Structure 1
């Protein structure tokens, strides 16, 4: 089978195409023929290895997310059959050789979820890290349900920072599906148009000095949940718009800066700051998220492409290095890699 591998950390040019033997699934595992692989910022950051280009990994295969077809099943696997269309999450987590940038991957069955028949592989490959992160961010508040479903966030106001990104896009769609009022902040009119297409009720510029007061006008009692991608630079804004008992779910620190907090305002709000990193989330919570996300798929609540506010950028498997470079450069939209035919 064709695989993209790297044996040292570094720039995209460490990625190269090789032939590897077709693997067999062990107990509790499934083998999936990958149709589409999704690329996320976490994938190039793992490839870079925190800047330590001297470190080595034998045949590491990039990319955590993907979608494809179950090809073989190991002993003890229930709920999946050969031929099932599926979406994948955390394929390479603690399994360096089994990322989705290859024709087949083997992974634990609990990281594989059946993809509804009417949902494309493009959508399936765009879930994983973005959608599960968004789900987690929307369900960590003590004041709101720990599951998402239609109406579960009715009455809530959700602020999505950086709504034109993949996580922000998923958070907007999931929050709308759950009945919330959604406000998002972006840097440009072009990105605002994308968030409106995704379903945001209000799209504001974070560069606007009046952003906090505008949010307060839209949510006089304050925001219930903040889905935060830029914790350092947005700390003061978040504290100024949060309602009493509100939650800031932090999954990123885009635009840099140290996270500094004003103690008294957050204390008086009984605010909750929850950090979100999928690699250390309890597996049961990941499975719950996958179940809720699949229900949203069935309801038509999650989509990708220009008409839903997440433009697609496609690459061939042999061009995985270019796909990584595009994500690393901050391309707006979702980068997908076509791995095997959709048949």
Structure 2
């Protein structure tokens, strides 16, 4: 089989196309014939490491956490799967050497979920890190639900920072599917169009509008939940628009790793800041997200593509390095690698 691998950290030039025998699944594992592999910022950051030239965490690492394909073999104890099942995978390479940038990936069964026939492999490979992060961000509020689904966020107003990004896109879709009023902030008319296509009820251009005034005009009593990609840059805005008992879920540090808060204002409003990292949220949170995303897929609530607000950029497997570079350069939308053109 063909695979992309690296042995030392560094820029994308450390990625090489190699030929390997497909491994057999062990206890609690399944082997998936990968149709499409998804690329996230975490993938190029893991490959880059803290500095170039360091040994990779394993003798050889196949990158990429997310993907979709068809179950090819089932190991002992991997219940609930059969050969031929369509699936999507998440956190494939977390503490493991075997990611999805290869034709056959051996994955832990707990990180594999059913993909409905109605969902494309492109969609399956676009879930994983972005959609599960969005799910977690929408379920950590003190007064909000712990699970998502139709009506779960009814009566609540959600503010999604950066609605044209992959996590922002998924957060808009999941919040809309769950019945919330969704506001999002963007930096350009082009991104506003994408956020609207994703399902946002209201879009605020923070470069041209008074964002706080615009959001307060929509939500006079404040927003209940914020899905935050840039906490340092948006700390003042969030303080201006958050409702009493509001929750701000932080999943990234775009714009700086340190922020300043007006403690008295946050005291007065009983505000909760919840920081989240998908890799350490625990199995229960991941399982809940996978189940809820499965229901959203069946409902057709998570479409991808430019018409749905998430443009797709595709690369063949042998150009995985270019795909990593595209994500690092901030390509808008989702970057995917077509691993098996016969399936994809």
**1:87 corresponds to:** 88
**1:55 corresponds to:** 54
**1:98 corresponds to:** 98
Whether contact under 8 Å (1:164, 1:191) holds in the other structure is yes
* CA distance in 1 between partners of 2:284 and 2:300 (Å): 25
Whether contact under 8 Å (1:233, 1:257) holds in the other structure is no
Q: Number of residue pairs matched? A: 341
CA distance 1:16–1:311, shift in 2 (3 Å): same
**2:258 corresponds to:** 258
* CA distance in 2 between partners of 1:99 and 1:84 (Å): 19
CA shift digits 1:223-259 (9 cap, x unpaired): 0000000011001111110001010000011122522
* CA distance in 2 between partners of 1:15 and 1:75 (Å): 32
**1:108 corresponds to:** 108
* CA distance in 1 between partners of 2:261 and 2:127 (Å): 32
**1:313 corresponds to:** 313
Note the 1:269-280 alignment, pairs <5 A: 269-280=269-280
* CA distance in 2 between partners of 1:229 and 1:207 (Å): 16
TM-score (norm 2): 0.98
Shift of 1:155: 0.5
Give unpaired runs (5+ residues) of structure 1: none
* CA distance in 1 between partners of 2:83 and 2:72 (Å): 5
**1:199 corresponds to:** 199
**2:127 corresponds to:** 127
Shift of 1:267: 1.1
**2:343 corresponds to:** 342
Shift of 1:61: 1.1
CA shift digits 1:277-314 (9 cap, x unpaired): 10001111101100000100111100100110100000
Shift of 1:207: 2.0
* CA distance in 1 between partners of 2:77 and 2:12 (Å): 38
Whether contact under 8 Å (1:186, 1:204) holds in the other structure is yes
Shift of 1:276: 1.3
SS in 2 for 1:8: coil
Give unpaired runs (5+ residues) of structure 2: none
TM-score (norm 1): 0.98
Runs of 4+ residues deviating >4 angstroms:
none
Shift of 1:208: 3.7
